[in-house]
Structure 1
């Protein structure tokens, strides 16, 4: 890589301060681990005299490389749309010569050969690190400039498509959260529903399912995805050989991890199956929509209540079995409005799932192209 560059420069040795509205400061932690985009969630400015800091201002197609710590090897390519950006001291700036394509070089940092280079080169007796001389030794196979530009452009389009879909996911999640607050506070109601919501205890809404069976597909409960098939998880099967005491789960039951209910490890089951005895299964009574309550169970107010009702001396031992859960009150609209709300948020979940699958497909496609093009 050293033969492709005009310079390797270390960044500013300056602390960060509140963003001044103009001058942005990029540090290792400001580069997204996956997309390598500038993460703008918590923008800061460098605490410096800008009149003497021109050399630390990024220019179009500058590359940055993390030189130390757990994120060593992380890369970033600057684009003017990121604004006026100065780079920090634990980053190395690389300026590529005009006869080479910066984006082509940047895309090489997503390859397995680069990952292997970083893993081997960064080994130190203390903190891992790669300095500018070592980065310069990284070997890249270079086609003609025209082909570099075509390859770089292809991957840039894939990256942009991925970023666009990730932004859609973020916006949908934000919109869903806003509607959750407004609907469950009854600030916003669907047309035709005017009755006040009642406060009812969970014992009046659900009963515990106590069936046991060794037969059926294994089901797991997660914090992020709710109830899923155990076979869909990339994890070791730790279920016991003797499943005679396993609990039966049926469609529309709510299953939850009694030790993680206060963290959101619950969900309505779309499957019939069995789960570990460590889980609790509740089944809805008449005129109760499980999906509505599965949504309410995940809300911050409910999680705080579940934590309060959990039994145990420390957070590692907190446990919320059905007898304690059953006495918790929940605000409850009529059955028709429950179903309406559940359907409404189901549309959000389906859209989010659609875009998440699209992002996963784009990332797999990029990985496949990287393996076939950069050999």
Structure 2
């Protein structure tokens, strides 16, 4: 077999592997969405849990973060992306949007704090709520609503906000008419959002289940990225 034929055969194998991994990623994402709906609707329950779920207002399981970066102690600005979660602002926009001189008016966001971004997008029709999983502290614009959970499993709460169940409350009590790109809701009303509240044991089980599912997606994504790089390398060799 000639050199070009060997490369062509490898190229075809890579194409098949790329397609397979793309399908796996799509299936895992679809599976996560299906489980989110069924578990938070209580259609599916983990073995050993049968107690009725309670319902608690957000104010009963969280506190609004009002700590400002008055002494400019922190300089890294975060943003809340509906698709990627809480990330460094420069990584998301490819430049700094905030003015370092004005960061003393920004809220301090610690690890595991939750952030509501009222900006509407295709991914988040009422804006996303995400948890800071960066492992470090930063600051965010006062346009965001930052809150710190208590008495609830953080992973469980994080994945509840990956559902669309809470959107109904916001749509009934908020307003997207003032600005077409931003959802408006008063803090005092936002705080009344009802949160389903199973036992802590069941919360932990649910949180761990979705965390394992989430970890599988980036592993396949890394493999896919590597295969695409290999494809590019073989393509270059074919045309040298």
CA positional deviation for 1:373 = 4.2
Which of the pair is proportionally richer in helix? 2
- Does residue 252 (structure 1) correspond to residue 138 (structure 2)? The answer is no
The answer to whether residue 132 in structure 2 is matched with residue 269 in structure 1 is yes
1:194 aligns with 2:50: yes
Mapped contact 2:118–2:182 kept (Cα < 8 A): no
Larger RCO, structures 1/2 (Cα 8 Å, 6+ apart): 2
Give structure 2 stretches of 5+ with no counterpart. none
Aligned-residue CA RMSD (Å):
2.2
Q: What is the Cα deviation at residue 344 of structure 1?
A: 0.5
Q: 1:208, 1:283 within 8 Å by CA — same for their partners in 2?
A: yes
Kindly indicate whether the alpha-carbon contact (under 8 Å) linking 1:253 and 1:284 is maintained by their aligned counterparts in 2.
yes
Residue in 1 that maps onto 2:228: 363
Asked if residue 164 in structure 1 is aligned to residue 16 in structure 2, the reply is no
1:316 aligns with 2:196: no
- The one of 85, 89, 100 aligned to 1:226: 85
CA–CA distance in structure 2, aligned partners of residues 217 and 317 of structure 1: 24
Q: Distance between the aligned counterparts of 2:173 and 2:236, measured in 1?
A: 52
What TM-score, normalized to structure 1? 0.57
Counterpart for residue 151 of structure 1: 7
1:302 aligned to which of 154, 157, 166:
166
The change in CA–CA distance for 1:278 and 1:264 in structure 2 (over 3 A counts) is closer
Between Structure 1 and Structure 2, how many residues are aligned?
230
Q: Residues 323 and 172 of structure 1: is their aligned pair in 2 closer, same or farther, counting only changes over 3 Å?
A: same
Residues 165 and 359 of structure 1 are in contact (CA less than 8 Å); yes or no, is this contact kept in structure 2?
A: yes
Structure 1: state its 5+ residue gaps.
Answer: 1-144
1:181 matched to which residue of 2?
Answer: 37
Q: How high is the TM-score relative to the length of structure 2?
A: 0.86
Q: Is the 8 A contact 2:56 2:196 kept in 1?
A: yes
How far off its partner does 1:328 sit? 1.5
Cα 1:364–1:306 change in 2 (3 A) is farther
